Amino acid sequence: MSTEAIAAPVPVRARRWVLEGRVQGVGFRPFVHRLAARHGLAGWVQNRLGRVVVHAEGPPAALARFGEALVREAPPLARPRIAESAEVPPQGMAGFRILASASDGEARVHLPPDRSVCEACLRELEDPRDRRHRYPFVNCTQCGPRYTIIERLPYDRARTSMARFALCADCAREYADPGDRRFHAEPLACPRCGPRLRWRGPGGAAEGEGALAAALACLRAGGIVAVRGVGGYHLLCDARSDAAVARLRARKRRPAKPLAVLFPDLAAVRRVAHLDAAAAGALADPARPIVLVPLRPEAGLAAGIAPGLGEVGALLPYSPLHHLLTRGFGAPLVATSGNVSGDPVVTDPEEAEALLGGVADGFLHHDRPIVRPADDPVLRPVAGAARPLRLGRGTAPLELELPRALPEPVLATGGHMKATIALAWERRAVVSPHVGDLEAPRARALFERLAADLQRLYGVRARRLLHDAHPDYFTTRWARAAGLPARAVQHHRAHASALAAEHPDVERWLVLAWDGVGYGDDGTLWGGEAFLGRPGAWRRVASLRPFRLPGGGRAAREPWRSALGVLWEAGLERPVPGGPADVGLLRAAWARGRNAPRTSAAGRLFDAAAALTGLCPVASYEGEGPMRLEAAAARAGGAPPPALPWRAGRDGILRLDWAPLLPALADTARAPEARAAAFHEALARAVAALAGRMAREAPGLTVGLCGGVFQNRLLAERCLALLGEHGIGVRLPVRVPGNDGGLAFGQVVEALHAWTA
Ligand SMILES: [Zn+2]
Ligand SMILES: [Zn+2]
């Protein structure tokens, strides 16, 4: 046998992959490096404005296995997608290298959200032999801050607020070692070289462990501590102490709005609340959101946590610091946003001491700058899934795909309350975290900053602005003054389109958009609307019987006004419990239509019911009336409701007549709980009746429920059950809030379809 036939050299081939999707800030490049080593390949990997380019060379079989593993074995937080894959000439490389990020090329940027501490880092935090034992800023490629520390993209340490901390020799070695799980972990830090805690408060100033101990001592003594977290400050106090909670409420001037509670672990939540699978799963999600869960009767929490409500907003520790605090305290802690009512969460130490000085007894600061705020995200389990009520730390920026490409980049400015911003270009839409209520100057300043910030980070300049149809919203005036073409999108169509875009498989919709007030086509205040059709082509087919609100905008905080509005509209003259004794002047103004705008808002009808049952004549926070009404209804059994008729108006639009509800709502012989339950049941049956009627006209339709009113779990779940009996499918929001926090995204979807139809 000839020797030449034995060892034909293995050919060297080279291949290049371009990966898109979530590939930055998730340990993707180190993963590629390890994978190449495992398959014995040479080459390089590089960040290029949000895309990752991989060049590998070696034997063809190894290249093929490597290519398959790039997506299949990617790190848990990564969501790579192969955009291009092509054979290229080999470069004769030895070894595999991570090249410095390139900042040229087109924008395919992904801004990674903040991630809660991972299991591996948690083990180090608790290991006395580890050099990061009890270090409150431990992190790795799989966890830690991202969105809140990034100053510019591409994502590298030098472009984050961690740039000011020079790595010590040990950290530098971990950062540079491809075999280490902190290889290129951009925010990596240790007690020697990283951020530190600082205490200001009772017992004097302290640092590090001393600061943590002082904060815990203050909490144990019943004090209120402002703690700087990942996206801003929290106010913490003992959640079992009536006195501490009462003090927090008095100082924050927040008499009744529910307070979130931070628990050491899932077992501690189970001791005070009933958890179904959806709630338990949501609490343990890497974003560590606040999840609204039903309280057990003898929960042992202070009565003032959520007055009049049957639920508590629970969350688990998300940062190492929060783990240390909850382990150290050993019991649930109130953890409410460190802000002044309605304002964005406070992020800077000086600002915190200035704005929260009258609220907190002490401040637990740290020196890792927060580049932009991110409040806690909030979810509520409804119909077997946790639905978003608020986007924030860990869930935003929310990246969504559009059904087709936009002709040019747009910026959608959303609504007025629960503001968010959406930037969209090509087939991408990005929704910002919760900004706040735009009555407040600080929220307006943050809105303007984020609008510029998002465009700069993603390298996209909006060519057109989208805004609500309401002429007086801050966001409308801002969009019209910005010097770009601006387009108005009607409020409830934006709600409907946001929902529809989340369910692209649905072809025929009947969407009910029920909320507080939003500006309608006819200049009246809508909010009980039903649309047939699809995005860009919604036909309003039904609404509530309109009524006039005595005192206009003041009705939002004074449900007794809505109660008088429905009574007077129905021709009934009777006092409302908790309302003023003398309503003569108001009645006269209402009769002349002065400061008494017409509305068809379901939210105001819920307010009216909350006042008529005596549950909430005056609200101390937005939505208090409907929330108390739902909680009361959930405590009662099924109640026989009055039937509510849908009547066709001259304009062809069906109007739900709520007047038959009024005698039952005002019937003081029945408990408020029973009246509230009958109210919910009557509306759920009315929704089912409308859908049944529309399904005869448009067979095969699917019902969508959106707008703030359908965050009501009881109402949504009863609608679902009743429509199920009719064989009609129902869809609810999945990732985009169904309330005004979803308006900006809905504006993008609505404009896309109207524009490219
Ligand atoms: Zn980690
Ligand atoms: Zn270090």
Q: What are phi and psi of 702, to 5 degrees?
A: -115, 140
Whole-number pLDDT of residue 66: 95
Q: Which numbered ligand comes closest to the C-alpha of 188?
A: 2
Q: Which numbered ligand comes closest to the C-alpha of 123?
A: 1
**C-alpha–C-alpha distance, residues 690 and 601, integer Å:** 17
- Laid out side by side, the sheet with 311-315 consists of 206-207, 197-200, 362-366, 225-228, 233-238, 333-337, 260-262, 311-315, 290-294, 378-382, 385-390
**C-alpha–C-alpha distance, residues 234 and 224, integer Å:** 10
Q: Which numbered ligand comes closest to the C-alpha of 26?
A: 1
* DSSP annotation of 474: H
Whole-number pLDDT of residue 274: 94
**C-alpha–C-alpha distance, residues 518 and 415, integer Å:** 9
Q: Which of 162, 112, 166, 174 is nearest to 137 (CA)?
A: 162
Q: How far is the CA of 171 from the centre of ligand 2 (A)?
A: 4
SS3 510: strand
Q: How far is the CA of 143 from the centre of ligand 1 (A)?
A: 4
**C-alpha–C-alpha distance, residues 132 and 135, integer Å:** 5
Q: How far is the CA of 188 from the centre of ligand 1 (A)?
A: 9
Place of tokens 């359908």: 710
Residue 756 has pLDDT above 90, yes or no: no
Give percent helix, percent strand, percent coil of the chain, each to the nearest 5. 35, 25, 45
Q: How far is the CA of 125 from the centre of ligand 2 (A)?
A: 14
Q: How far is the CA of 746 from the centre of ligand 1 (A)?
A: 35
For residues 58-77, give the mean pLDDT: 91
Whole-number pLDDT of residue 6: 55
Report the share of the chain in percent with pLDDT over 90.
Answer: 85
| Helices assigned H by DSSP within 297-392 | 320-329, 349-356
DSSP string, 653-665: -EEE--TTHHHHH
Q: How far is the CA of 307 from the centre of ligand 2 (A)?
A: 46
Report the share of the chain in percent with pLDDT over 70.
Answer: 97
What would the pLDDT profile of 390-412 be if each residue is shown by its tens digit? 999 999 999 998 999 999 999 99
Whole-number pLDDT of residue 4: 47
Q: How far is the CA of 124 from the centre of ligand 2 (A)?
A: 14
Q: How far is the CA of 540 from the centre of ligand 1 (A)?
A: 50
Q: How far is the CA of 134 from the centre of ligand 2 (A)?
A: 14
3-state secondary structure 240-288: CCHHHHHHHHHHHCCCCCCCEEECCCHHHHHHHECCCHHHHHHHHCCCC
Q: How far is the CA of 684 from the centre of ligand 2 (A)?
A: 59
Average pLDDT across the chain, whole number:
94
pTM confidence score: 0.89
Q: How far is the CA of 455 from the centre of ligand 2 (A)?
A: 34
Q: Which numbered ligand comes closest to the C-alpha of 139?
A: 1
Whole-number pLDDT of residue 105: 45
Mode of pairing for the β-strands spanning 311-315 and 260-262:
parallel
Q: How far is the CA of 570 from the centre of ligand 1 (A)?
A: 61
Q: How far is the CA of 166 from the centre of ligand 2 (A)?
A: 8
Q: Which numbered ligand comes closest to the C-alpha of 175?
A: 2
Q: How far is the CA of 586 from the centre of ligand 2 (A)?
A: 68
CB atoms within 10 A of CB 469: 20
What length does the chain have? 757
Q: Which of 90-104, 557-571, 589-603 has the lowest mean pLDDT?
A: 90-104
**C-alpha–C-alpha distance, residues 67 and 393, integer Å:** 33
**C-alpha–C-alpha distance, residues 473 and 517, integer Å:** 12
Q: How far is the CA of 123 from the centre of ligand 1 (A)?
A: 9
Q: How far is the CA of 196 from the centre of ligand 2 (A)?
A: 12
**C-alpha–C-alpha distance, residues 591 and 569, integer Å:** 10
Place of tokens 């580049």: 371
Q: How far is the CA of 174 from the centre of ligand 2 (A)?
A: 9
Q: How far is the CA of 638 from the centre of ligand 2 (A)?
A: 61
- Crossing angle of helices 559-569 and 602-612, rounded to 10°: 100
The kind and range of the H/E element at 335 are: strand 333-337
Whole-number pLDDT of residue 340: 80
Mode of pairing for the β-strands spanning 206-207 and 197-200:
antiparallel
Q: How far is the CA of 54 from the centre of ligand 2 (A)?
A: 30
Q: How far is the CA of 131 from the centre of ligand 2 (A)?
A: 9
**C-alpha–C-alpha distance, residues 4 and 598, integer Å:** 94
Q: Which numbered ligand comes closest to the C-alpha of 138?
A: 1
What would the pLDDT profile of 505-552 be if each residue is shown by its tens digit? 999 999 999 999 999 999 999 999 999 999 999 999 999 999 999 999
Residue 17 has pLDDT above 60, yes or no: yes
Q: Which of 331, 351, 335 is nearest to 343 (CA)?
A: 351
pLDDT classification of 755: cutoffs 50, 70, 90: confident
Q: How far is the CA of 77 from the centre of ligand 1 (A)?
A: 11
For residues 226-254, give the mean pLDDT: 97
Q: How far is the CA of 218 from the centre of ligand 2 (A)?
A: 30
Q: Which numbered ligand comes closest to the C-alpha of 142?
A: 1
pLDDT classification of 706: cutoffs 50, 70, 90: very high
For residues 260-289, give the mean pLDDT: 96
Q: Which numbered ligand comes closest to the C-alpha of 167?
A: 2
Q: How far is the CA of 344 from the centre of ligand 2 (A)?
A: 33
Are 290 and 231 within 8 A, CB to CB? no
Residue 701 has pLDDT above 90, yes or no: yes
What would the pLDDT profile of 278-297 be if each residue is shown by its tens digit? 999 999 998 999 999 999 98
Q: How far is the CA of 169 from the centre of ligand 2 (A)?
A: 7
Q: Which numbered ligand comes closest to the C-alpha of 320?
A: 1
Q: How far is the CA of 697 from the centre of ligand 2 (A)?
A: 68
For residues 255-276, give the mean pLDDT: 96
Q: How far is the CA of 546 from the centre of ligand 2 (A)?
A: 65
Taking the mean position of all CA atoms in its chain, how far away is CA 229? 17
The encoded tokens of residue 666 equal: 């005002």
What would the pLDDT profile of 648-669 be if each residue is shown by its tens digit? 999 999 999 999 999 999 999 9
Residue 298 has pLDDT above 60, yes or no: yes
Q: How far is the CA of 321 from the centre of ligand 1 (A)?
A: 13
Q: How far is the CA of 197 from the centre of ligand 1 (A)?
A: 19
Q: How far is the CA of 336 from the centre of ligand 1 (A)?
A: 25
Residue 7 has pLDDT above 60, yes or no: no
For residues 632-641, give the mean pLDDT: 85
Q: Which numbered ligand comes closest to the C-alpha of 171?
A: 2
Q: How far is the CA of 189 from the centre of ligand 2 (A)?
A: 5
pLDDT classification of 687: cutoffs 50, 70, 90: very high
Are 420 and 374 within 8 A, CB to CB? no
Q: Which numbered ligand comes closest to the C-alpha of 170?
A: 2
Taking the mean position of all CA atoms in its chain, how far away is CA 173? 37
For residues 2-22, give the mean pLDDT: 75
- Residue 508's alpha-carbon distances to 208, 505, 603, 695, 729, in angstroms, are 59, 10, 26, 10, 11
Q: Which numbered ligand comes closest to the C-alpha of 189?
A: 2
pLDDT classification of 103: cutoffs 50, 70, 90: low
Beta-bridged to residue 724, according to DSSP, are none
Q: How far is the CA of 318 from the centre of ligand 1 (A)?
A: 11
Whole-number pLDDT of residue 164: 97
